[in-house]
Structure 1
Amino acid sequence: MNGSPAVAARQTRRFGEKRTLILEAAARLFNQHGVRGTTLTDVGAEVGLLTNSISYYFRKKEDLAAACFLRTIETIIRTATVAADQEITARARLRRFLTLYVQLHAEIATGSRAELLSSNDLRALEEPHASAVFASYVDMFRSIRQLLLANDMPEVERTDLIARTHLIVSVVHSVQNWIRRYDLADYPRVAARLADILTDGMGEGARDFSPPELLSFQKHVSSEGDSSRERFLQAATFLINEHGYRGASVEKISARLSVTKGSFYHHNEDKDELVADCFERTFSLIHDAQSAAIDTVPDGWSRACGAVSALTRFQFSPRGPLLRIAALSAMPEPMRPKWVARMNQLMERFAGIVSDGIADGSMRPIDARIAGQLLYTTSNSAAELHRWISTEDADAAMKSYVRPLFTGLLHP
């Protein structure tokens, strides 16, 4: 009797329900503390299970993290597929996709849906999980690219299409970082305004994308030189972007610079001090690019183009990259509020530049706050662009990636 189909079905259902509860709790904890900052014991405590019981469903924490990533990626793929199937034009598809995706976050905010796992620790995955998750991530990328493959999409080079898709994917990842600043009742308007900017750009009329050179910013970057401190900051920034805060160990930073741990501690008090300086370096560079644009460029459109282009070009240069937004989530919690507040200030500063453009007539009436977040996201996500297209020719990469943000994804 115990081996009857009915009993087996109930056991399978209970297993599936418990597995889902574990995935939901893990995603919530991973978002709060990062994958490396969460243990199976932590997850077990969330769902009332001992660590050994969690291991019955997921042998290792890495198995659990990979399952959470795959679950989130599959959710985004389904959302993009629904949008592509329901709409004919790229404009309608993109708007439907963003509406559905923002609606997911509304359900998360009300507690009717479990959290999606942030992509922050995605690059920290190791084999064999990395291959499976990245293969699924590529499928997600293609499903979002499919949104653009419609009759109203201008004919563009394959490289341009890939760069535009990366821009959309970057926006999708960034929404999780800022959507809760808005009232739930405004989520549909946020999605509509986001789609409006992405499809039709920011300029008033057919404005040309000719970003001005910010000479004072270039001079500042050059003045940093190639000091030991700068090399430590570059190495730590790169490794934090690749492996997260906890994955960027003293050993890895030292090995990248071919120095001993003793040399590391000769130049740095500890890793936390170095990471704090990495954030300070990144945020100072963003602030300096914004200031150079505000102080030397006459209109808001050109200021925005100049600042984002200067930061993107820096990302492509040997002195790059900037620290990714994703690094914030894995920071020790006592350190996090200061840097989140600083990042938000810089986003608001971009919003102010957009407001200047609307006031002087160089930018069309758009939501300045959302546009400011897009300007920050675009310059920040440029660090990942080399994974999809070549960035050796900075001018070509800028035309493929940055220009569509300003002129619109659905414009040549």
Structure 2
Amino acid sequence: MGGDAGAKSAKARPRYEARREAILTAAAEALAQEGLAGFTLASVAKRMDLHPVSLTYYFKRKEELVSACLLHGADRFDAMLDEAQGAGAPPERLAAFVRAYFEVQRRIALGEEPPLAPLDEVRTLWRASGDPVDLRYQEVRQRIADLLVGEDRPAPAAWRQRLLSRLILQQLASSDSWLADYALADYPRVAERVAEVMIFGLAAPGQRWPQDLVLTAPESTDSEMVRERFLIEATDLINREGWTGASVDRISARLKVTKGSFYHHHADKDELIGACFDRSFAILESALARARTAETGWRRLFLATAPLAVSQAHDGRGRILRRYALRLARPELRGAVEQRMRQTASALAGLICDGVSDGTLRPVDPTIAAHMLLAMINSALMLDRVPELTPEITLYGYVRPAIRGVFSVR
């Protein structure tokens, strides 16, 4: 009897693992398309044509399923890093990791692999130190940092390693928002161009690092002060805690005003997120306008990006809504926001072209480089877990390697 039961259990195990893998695939697709705000066990079950109760045999709660999905994604990053580890010197290892990442993206586009779970949800769900998902991604980031170390390249300080690995991972993950503009046959070329910017940066040889960074927060008129404060607080809450964390009650409590003040300016939360995006684009466009007055392309690029990135990490008034919040927007708003995002990337790419033309920037793919710089700006908010973080550290440890290459910082 015991032998028969054991045999049945052994036969059932592969079926269990296959179904669990299928659930993780459907969950990754749901997270990639809908974000955590729209993610439910029911939405995953619908993708599989199952009753939601069937999923609870494998995952009791949606948080458990999201956790498993993210941990599965970390395992896939480990496989890419395994492939890159034996590639030779640090620059070759980094280039191999980038190639492996875009090969995975190619297979995802072909339907041969499920999407990678959005990295932004690691922050949204797990904020306490010691969480298994957070610890697992710390291991992934450390392995990325280890790629940069060799006999002639000693390991940088721990805080520099954390910043460099976050930058690399975020710049790769942000390609989800623009990679569809390229044909699958171009993915290897995209990987080559991304790795080139990471390794060598954008500044041409001989360009000095500017010393006169000026942070300027957006100004508000007295009549717009309450509305502006609502948008600042809403942007901060959405960035840090997702859509569900940015409740009208919480925003009002932080500002010590009534909910009526919110509804005086915004009909609902959908209108609020649209207003937050409008304000974010105004900040980006203002930075680009100031940068265009500089005398060289290198100087323009620096002024268009460095102040914005430092502001994301340290100045709440100048923070923009992070791109992942687009998953929270209603479909008609999403299209308009995506168009403005492409326009912003094109404007930044134009500044890069100016620098290539006048010789102050290296010849790079301006569109890809622009997307990578916007990813650096967008992800700077996530640096608040670095204990040593100061504006100077953000500038030299995060912005500088994005502009001058990750090996420019020792």
Normalization by structure 2: what TM-score? 0.92
Deviation per CA, 1:82-132: give whole Å up to 9, x if none: 312x12311011001000011000000001111111123333316899822
Alignment partners' CA distance in 2, 1:396 and 1:177: 28
User: How far did residue 61 of structure 1 move?
Assistant: 1.2
Deviation per CA, 1:287-315: give whole Å up to 9, x if none: 11011111x11211111111111212322
Identity, % of aligned positions: 35
Question: Residue 364 of structure 2: SS of its match in structure 1?
Answer: coil
Alignment partners' CA distance in 2, 1:202 and 1:126: 34
2:83 alignment counterpart: 82
Letter in 1 for 2:308: L
Alignment partners' CA distance in 1, 2:211 and 2:194: 23
User: How far did residue 337 of structure 1 move?
Assistant: 1.1
Distance of aligned partners of 1:331 and 1:144 in 2 relative to their CA distance in 1, 3 Å threshold: same
Larger displacement relative to structure 2 (66-75 or 30-39): 30-39
Question: Equivalences for 1:212-361 in 2 at 5 Å?
Answer: 213=213, 218=216, 221-223=218-220, 227-294=225-292, 296-315=293-312, 316-361=314-359
User: How far did residue 241 of structure 1 move?
Assistant: 0.7
1:7 alignment counterpart: 8
Q: How large is the Cα RMSD of the aligned pairs?
A: 2.3
Letter in 2 for 1:89: A
Alignment partners' CA distance in 2, 1:166 and 1:359: 31
Alignment partners' CA distance in 2, 1:110 and 1:375: 28
Deviation per CA, 1:5-33: give whole Å up to 9, x if none: 44222211111111111111111112111
Alignment partners' CA distance in 1, 2:66 and 2:393: 37
1:194 alignment counterpart: 194
Deviation per CA, 1:129-176: give whole Å up to 9, x if none: 982211112111111111112224366443333222221121122122
Larger displacement relative to structure 2 (324-333 or 357-366): 324-333
Larger displacement relative to structure 2 (398-407 or 232-241): 398-407
Contact in 1 for aligned 2:270/2:330 (Cα 8 Å): no
1:44 alignment counterpart: 45
1:383 aligns with 2:381: yes
Normalization by structure 1: what TM-score? 0.92
Question: Residue 227 of structure 1: SS of its match in structure 2?
Answer: helix
Alignment partners' CA distance in 2, 1:172 and 1:3: 50
Alignment partners' CA distance in 2, 1:280 and 1:352: 22
> How many residues are treated as equivalent by the alignment?
406
User: How far did residue 58 of structure 1 move?
Assistant: 0.9
Alignment partners' CA distance in 1, 2:119 and 2:7: 39
1:119 alignment counterpart: 119
Larger displacement relative to structure 2 (316-325 or 357-366): 316-325
Alignment partners' CA distance in 1, 2:68 and 2:129: 9
User: How far did residue 375 of structure 1 move?
Assistant: 1.4
User: How far did residue 182 of structure 1 move?
Assistant: 1.0
User: How far did residue 273 of structure 1 move?
Assistant: 1.6
Letter in 2 for 1:203: A
Contact in 1 for aligned 2:311/2:318 (Cα 8 Å): yes
Higher relative contact order (CA 8 A, sep 6+): 1
Deviation per CA, 1:15-66: give whole Å up to 9, x if none: 1111111111111112111222132222112112111111111111111111
1:134 alignment counterpart: 134
Letter in 2 for 1:131: D
Larger displacement relative to structure 2 (202-211 or 237-246): 202-211
1:59 alignment counterpart: 60
1:149 alignment counterpart: 149
User: How far did residue 246 of structure 1 move?
Assistant: 3.7
User: How far did residue 397 of structure 1 move?
Assistant: 2.2
Contact in 2 for aligned 1:209/1:407 (Cα 8 Å): no
Alignment partners' CA distance in 2, 1:318 and 1:335: 24
User: How far did residue 222 of structure 1 move?
Assistant: 4.0
Q: Please identify runs of 4+ aligned residues in structure 1 that moved more than 6 A.
A: 127-130
Alignment partners' CA distance in 2, 1:186 and 1:152: 33
Contact in 1 for aligned 2:305/2:373 (Cα 8 Å): yes
Contact in 1 for aligned 2:83/2:100 (Cα 8 Å): no
Gaps of 5+ in 1: none
1:110 alignment counterpart: 110
Alignment partners' CA distance in 2, 1:140 and 1:224: 45
Contact in 2 for aligned 1:70/1:133 (Cα 8 Å): yes
Letter in 2 for 1:411: S
Larger displacement relative to structure 2 (16-25 or 317-326): 317-326
Deviation per CA, 1:241-284: give whole Å up to 9, x if none: 11222442222222322333333323432222221111011111
